[in-house]
Amino acid sequence: MEELRQLPYSIESEQYILASALINPQEASAIVNSVHSEHFYDVRHKNIMEAMEKLYQNHQEINYTNVIEELKREKKFEASGGIEYIGYLIDILPTYVRWDTYVANIKEKALQRELYHTLSNLSNDILSGRFQTDDILNNTERLVKNVLNKRSVNQLTKVDSITPGVIDEINKRMQNKNDLIGIDTGFKELNNILSGFKKQELIILAARPGVGKTALALNFASAACKQGKYVAFISLEMGKEQIVKRLISTESAVDHDKINKGQLSGTEISSILTAKSQTIDKFNLYLDDSNSANIFDIMAQCRSLKRNGKLDMIVVDYLQLIDLDSPRRSSTRAEIVGAISRSLKVLAMELDIPIIALSQLNRTAAKPDGEPNLAQLRESGSIEQDADVVMFIYSNKEDEERNQKTANLKLKVEKNRHGRTGIMDITFFKHILKFTQEKEQR
């Protein structure tokens, strides 16, 4: 009973899910496909769920009578509370309850219990004095990663439980043909190619140093914030104050160099204050410049924001600066970056949001002698395989335009897993760190 008191679980959630299956046989198959006996803590509930799973596997209807018969056949009927408790489950179910609202709760509690046992075992290893520190750290990373992976991996789902939602989405798209599927990128032509930044996608934005990939990423973040979206911008090479100065320059159209030097006219100060109060202060933008280059720290931060319902998109600047916690000594940098890109893709799917990760190009792309390609992603590893979208910013006339206030660039969608690719012309106003399409300037 002491363990029952201490370990996290929700008896109501477990009861409501089981009662829903007992009362509504038509819902029972979907319930069995969504949650499993291992997620239940109460032994009675675990037994009842196992009986339902057995009936499902044998192609028998899951209902009150069949569940009782299966429990008796397995000699678990009395251990499951008998007729009194099973009848009680049905009686306590409120008419307004939707079982699916409780599934995430019991899965979360099950994960917390597993994490508790994992950490308890690790504590015992430390106290035993039988293991070296490196062995304990490696074992900790492996075991905790296993728990994290369970959180991000969805259970297998039968196709007929997915198709209704897909048909609904198709109907909505037909009725609202001009609506984007994803988050508005801020560029009409890019929206036409990508249909916006879509949920669960990992988007790679790559360029040579100095071309403006951080500025473009901030433009993407600003466009999302103007739609009321919550955005996390994680910078591993730039402080929060510098990021805000860039935003101020872009939104006020005041020269970034003047802002840094404090050489501003009264009109420019007025423009800055207007941009601050009317635009930037209203952004749901979270900035992180902690220089924590650990992928697990980044994932933990983002999960925390998402749990509070305040995360629609993540931008990471940039991929090659992220590290694993304690990679194997034999791992190459390409393998490490590949593992990081995979972790970001898994995070995008888990949180159901798009993640934009900036990337450098390797030395073979150091000179502007042509269009960049996937092979030029620095320490590419599996970046191109993990990414749903890969975009490049480049110019064949970089040397001519290096000292000019504007640069006519190309934004190339080299890979688009769910649609077409393409190239668009964009203009970079370097002095205010703003990108726009040439057609939009006229």
Nearest to 12 by CA among 107, 110, 71, 92: 92
Quick one: three-class SS letters along 8-63? Answer: CCCHHHHHHHHHHHHHCHHHHHHHHHHCCHHHCCCHHHHHHHHHHHHHHHCCCCCC
Given the residues 38, 61, 78, 237, select the one marked as catalytic. 237
2 is catalytic: no
- Return the active site residues: 237
